[in-house]
Amino acid sequence: MTAVAIIGAGMAGLATAERLRAGGMSCVIFEKSRGMGGRMSTRRTGDLQFDHGAQYFTARGPDFVTQVARWREAGVVAEWAPGSHVGAPGMTAPARALASGHVCVTQAQVNGFTRTADGWTVLDDKGSIKAQGNGAYAAIVLAVPAPQAIPLAARAGADMPELAGARYAPCIALMLAFPADVDPVLPDWSRPDDAAIAWIAADFTKPGRPQAARTFVVHARPDWSRAHIDDQAEDLVAPLLARFRAVTGLTAEPAYASAHRWRYALVEQEIGLPCLFDAGARVGACGDWCLGPRVEAAWDSGCAMADTLLTALA
């Protein structure tokens, strides 16, 4: 069976893997973090959990509508508000469902490749990564943010000038937990008119979430995030908490407060192509940066990448 190496276990990489499997190809997924999902992430600490990346997703096209229906039937996706879907019991749940049955190598910091007559080898800073089939991959897929794909494509000898056209905004996420006896009179989500805060979600109101605490996720605006993206995460809690209190009027002391810096959070400029593929190098690239800042766009790009590979490697 033809094997493909996929770098990145976000929605685009996992969609590529699922479509390749349906087409009779196998793959090995390399992911630098400990879990699946990329920005569809769930942060867990003790009994608390937070969807600190993507907050929800919509489904418009028939392909993704069908996939979301499958997830709902499997119990890994639920509707939070009309037309707004979330993973259940956490945002990472659909990604974990997609990854099931695939070979996934986590905490793999890929930084290069070599190619021989036998195929591609995926490397980290110590050399060849120990993984099934490494050294004989028929193709490489870069399913990572475009700025991270640029150096990897260059190291693989792939010609992908379009990558430079994608633009991202960063986002700083604040995670707050208040005791369960705190009764905030706040909507499930809001987009306040504030210089620092773009989004506030009452995370505990999402389906399947623990009710032991009142958890909130706060996303900073792109300009505020750009100005502070290089600050230490612990130094970002106090200013964002102060803005949260000013916006909501909730002055109770949080039992937990932490910040996370998403350097590549929101696609501001997509390249307008479903995916990229250098046929000579047998290297492809896909992600939401191809089609737009939506989970569905990442899914569509991954499916397009798989279809391209199935034709090219047939």
Q: What gap in Å lies between CA 77 and CA 74, rounded to an integer?
A: 8
Q: Is the pLDDT of residue 154 over 90?
A: yes
Instruction: Set out the domains of the chain in order of their start, with CATH numbers.
Output: 3-40+92-166+271-312 (3.50.50.60), 167-268 (3.90.660.10)
Q: What gap in Å lies between CA 63 and CA 299, rounded to an integer?
A: 9
The reported pLDDT for the residue numbered 1 is 57
Q: Tell whether omega for the bond before 187 is within 30 degrees of 0, i.e. cis.
A: no
Summarised one tens digit per residue, pLDDT across range 53-112 is 999 999 999 999 999 999 999 999 999 999 999 999 999 999 999 999 899 999 999 999
**Burial group, residue 51, by CB count within 10 angstroms (0-12, 13-18, 19+):** buried
Beta strand pairing call for 283-285 and 213-220: unpaired
The residues with which 84 forms a beta bridge, in sequence order, are: 81
Summarised one tens digit per residue, pLDDT across range 188-230 is 999 999 999 999 999 999 999 988 899 999 999 999 999 999 9
Summarised one tens digit per residue, pLDDT across range 30-59 is 999 998 999 999 999 999 999 999 999 999
Give the mean pLDDT of the chain: 96
